[in-house]
Amino acid sequence: MHIISTSLTISDASLCFAAFSWGVKKHFRSTGAMPLGMKITSLLSLALFAAFLWRAAQGVSFTWVLAIALFSASLAVFAAAIAASRRTPPTLAFDTDRPAFLLQNGPYRFVRHPFYLAYVLFWLGTAAATNGWLGWLAPAVMTALYIEAAAREERKFADSSLAQAYRAYRIRAGMFWPRPLALLAG
């Protein structure tokens, strides 16, 4: 059972990480060179994922089923965000572009930053899989980076021609987690 749980956990985590890497290369757009903040986020993600793989290869925690559920939720949110933004892909994190459109379909109906939600769920899954205090370092550090990136994006919207529409959108949709009324309005 140990080999099966470890293999399933590592496979599911690797599938998520590969999808996220694909997104950076093939889905998101950039107004120039990759922003420094995105480079730092990518390198840190790679290092923390490598640390997770090393730790998970030694055996996963009894909470490995929770980890797989979090990886599955992460991948589902990511896929839904890709589908919703396929025609108008957002820019990379930390890009300095001026927003020209506001996505409000798919998961964007409920959360303003579904990609970051997907990433947070993934890192929570890595922590659940390894179940040690050190495993919680990755979600803490990466969530802090995603909060900073989201705050920068929100400031870009506040300074754009979409400011008024974005203010109304913020009332309806949570930053990373849906607002209860938005779920009821569905």
Could you read off the pLDDT of 96-150 as tens digits, one per residue?
Answer: 999 999 999 999 999 999 999 999 999 999 999 997 888 899 999 999 999 999 9
Token output for 60: 């996963």
Q: Which helix (H) or strand (E) holds 173?
A: none
Span 143-171, pLDDT tens digits: 999 999 999 999 999 999 999 999 999 99
Nearest to 129 by CA among 76, 50, 56: 56
Report the SS3 class of residue 118: helix
Q: For the CA atoms of 20, 22, 24, 30, what is the dihedral angle to 10 degrees? A: -150
d(CA 63, CA 82): 29
Span 33-51, pLDDT tens digits: 999 999 999 999 999 999 9
Nearest to 170 by CA among 157, 184, 185: 157
Q: Looking at the 3D structure of the chain, how many domains does it have?
A: 1
How many residues belong to the chain?
186
d(CA 30, CA 127): 31
Task: Decide if 18 contacts 74 (C-beta within 8 A).
Answer: no
Task: Decide if 145 contacts 153 (C-beta within 8 A).
Answer: no
Residue 57 neighbours by CB distance under 10 Å: 11
The domain that holds 58 is classified in CATH as 1.20.120.1630
Residue 154 neighbours by CB distance under 10 Å: 15
Token output for 177: 């987690």
Domain carrying residue 158: 2-185
d(CA 158, CA 155): 5
pLDDT band for position 185 (cuts 50, 70, 90): low
pTM: 0.94
Task: Decide if 99 contacts 157 (C-beta within 8 A).
Answer: yes
